[in-house]
Chain A
């Protein structure tokens, strides 16, 4: 301990500045900040690695796909073999979906946070999916409070979160149903947040699955429908804005996903 103190004092002798002894709280903060920095650097490298790997996977995958397409083009191909090659093409498509999701997950492009009205982003996203919901016999109800305060987010990312949650709600109601999208202001400990919720009348989620829902690669959908990355991407995005995402669900009755986004204090910049 004494030797350590000596080492700490040495620079003081050179600069003439007496180092202040750090409090345990400062030490904890420094350790946490350093940990976060290392973790974000690791994540960035992992992102670059993943993006590169996805690119490399597509080359051999394209060859596999072309070989299967060539085989299927042959008129002499026996039906059992034809089915096998079709199976290969279906699985190729599945890998493409996974690599697409992984690339989005590991995207290293800059995030541009600006002030925006959450209800505008909701409306934009619903305009993309409105027709799909209609075709799936899903009744859409909007309960968007008037005069919502602005929040800070990347418009593309936030739209991706809403798109994921609405698509999941749609998938949870294969026989049709009702989706309520609402937005309101909430005050928690003097801090305001905008809460956006998506309530469906679908199949609901079991208690066991609720615990794993936001884990990467966890999915309850059939193999060809989901990669299990959608909700973990949503959580990643929402938490990067210091927001929260949560879910309440009753099996057989439906689920409600809530996204809470902090309202910046006036003058605060993104």
Chain B
């Protein structure tokens, strides 16, 4: 099953992305914060995580670092409001596969998730 973890503090973002990915045949799970996300990386073993950079409490960068420690092969796509070259560079260094800016283009996002899953399957 194509299990993906959606991490965003906006419940409606999680809900809408969940609905979209479910319709595309994925198994989406959601988390509204960093701690919950890390716990679901352990318990649900998703293939890919969609991770919002800007969240209250533990921000996306910290979640990225800690999730990669738990599962280095986890695919991570960062979601950001604005293009900040420094943040993008740092996220890539920390193991993020890609980044996507808001407002999200759902088809573009799904293509990236699918390509990441294909890459993981090939390995």
Q: Which residues of A contact B (CB under 8 A)?
A: 54-55, 58-59, 61-67, 69-70, 73, 92, 96, 103
Contacts and interface: CB of A to CB of B under 8 A. Distances in A.
A76 to B, nearest CB: 13
Contact of B13 (A62, A70, A73, A96): A62
B103 interface: yes
B20 interface: yes
Given A54-B82, A55-B81, A55-B82, A61 B102 contact: yes
B19 interface: yes
Interface in B35-85: 54, 81-82
A74 to B, nearest CB: 9
B104 to A, nearest CB: 5
Contacts of A67: 16
Contacts of A66: 13, 16-17, 20, 103-104, 106
A62 B82 CA distance: 12
A70 B103 contact: no
Q: Give 10 nearest A-B pairs by CB, closest first.
A: A65-B103, A62-B102, A62-B103, A58-B81, A58-B102, A66-B16, A55-B81, A69-B106, A63-B12, A61-B103
A161 to B, nearest CB: 21
Contact of A70 (B10, B102, B106): B106
A225 B82 CA distance: 21
B30 to A, nearest CB: 14
A63 B23 CA distance: 17
Contacts of B19: 70
Given A67-B16, A70-B20, A59 B81 contact: yes
B17 A103 contact: no
Main secondary structure of the interface of A (DSSP, over half): helix
Interface string B5-20: 0000010110011011
Contacts of A63: 10, 12-13, 16
B13 A58 contact: no
B12 A58 contact: no
B7 to A, nearest CB: 14
A16 B105 CA distance: 71
Given A55-B81, A103-B82, A62 B104 contact: yes
B82 A65 contact: no
23 contacts: A55-B81, A58-B82, A59-B10, A59-B81, A59-B102, A62-B103, A62-B104, A63-B13, A63-B16, A64-B103, A65-B103, A65-B104, A66-B13, A66-B106, A67-B16, A69-B107, A70-B16, A70-B19, A70-B20, A73-B20, A92-B103, A96-B103, A103-B82
A64 B23 CA distance: 18
A69 B20 CA distance: 9
Contacts of A58: 81-82, 102-103
A54 B101 CA distance: 13
Contact of B23 (A65, A73, A103): A73
A64 B81 CA distance: 14
Given A63-B16, A69-B20, A69-B105, 5 more contacts: A59-B81, A64-B103, A67-B16, A69-B107, A103-B82
Contacts of A61: 102-103
Contacts of B20: 66, 69-70, 73
Which of B17, B81, B105 is most buried by chain A, counting CB atoms within 10 A of its CB? B81
Nearest to B10: A59
